[in-house]
């Protein structure tokens, strides 16, 4: 007979947080996609990304690997990421394998001459960093940070 520790299973699942933000931009989808697809330029509009170092020659598409110096409040870490999904002109999906693990998707969808950019992240925090408590507390701060990132992306595309 297999014994299941339901308490541990509940704690492990609750350490994950889902964060979803979006912004409708008065910019053609092709211009938004060009900015999103230029992974190396992300630190120019992502406040939490200080720099990106690519691992290997690949800079776009599935299989692109990178390390991103990430600073969120007092937390400073190297986010080890790999692009695991790339729908040309539409979306990029990454896996985070650093201190905080998970999956994220950045999507650009055309809508009435504008573009809806959505950012979805499922992140898991390690137990020694507070696990489920940190996951719960981090959600509103990270959502606000990423809404600001999308605002800066829009500003970079609409400024003269």
| Residue 155: closest CA among 17, 3, 47, 13 | 47
Q: Write out the residue range of the structural domain in which residue 127 sits.
A: 18-158
Domain assignment present for 154? yes
Q: What percent of the chain has pLDDT over 90?
A: 74
4 in any annotated domain: no
Residue 11 lies in a domain: no
The pTM assigned to this predicted structure is 0.87
Dihedral sign (CA 47, 82, 38, 21): negative
CATH code, 105: 3.30.530.20
Q: In this structure, are residues 105 and 98 in contact, taking their beta carbons and an 8 Å threshold? A: no
- The DSSP code for 95 is E
Tell me, yes or no, whether 1 lies in a domain.
no
**Domain for residue 125, yes or no?**
yes
Which residues are within 8 A (CB) of 9 and not within 5 positions of it... i.e. 6 or more apart? none
Domain count, the chain: 1
pLDDT per residue as tens digits for the range 41-98: 999 999 999 999 999 999 999 999 999 999 988 889 999 999 999 999 999 999 999 8
In a domain, 80, yes or no: yes
Asked if the structure places residue 128 within a domain, the reply is: yes
Domain annotation covers residue 132: yes
């Amino acid at each position: 007979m297999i014994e299941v520790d339901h308490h541990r299973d509940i704690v492990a699942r609750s350490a994950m947080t889902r964060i979803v933000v979006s912004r409708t931009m008065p910019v053609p989808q092709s211009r938004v996609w060009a900015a999103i697809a230029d992974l190396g330029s992300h630190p120019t509009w992502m406040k939490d990304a200080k720099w990106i170092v690519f691992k290997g020659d690949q800079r776009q598409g599935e299989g692109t690997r990178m390390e991103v110096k990430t600073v969120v409040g007092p937390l400073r870490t190297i986010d080890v990421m790999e692009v695991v999904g790339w729908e040309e002109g539409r979306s990029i999906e990454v896996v985070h394998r650093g201190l905080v693990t998970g999956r994220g998707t950045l999507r650009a969808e055309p809508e009435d001459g504008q573009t809806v950019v959505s950012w979805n992240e499922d992140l898991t925090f390690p137990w020694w960093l507070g696990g489920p408590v940190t996951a719960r507390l981090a959600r509103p701060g990270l959502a606000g940070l990423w809404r600001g990132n999308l605002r800066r992306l829009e500003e970079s595309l609409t400024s003269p």
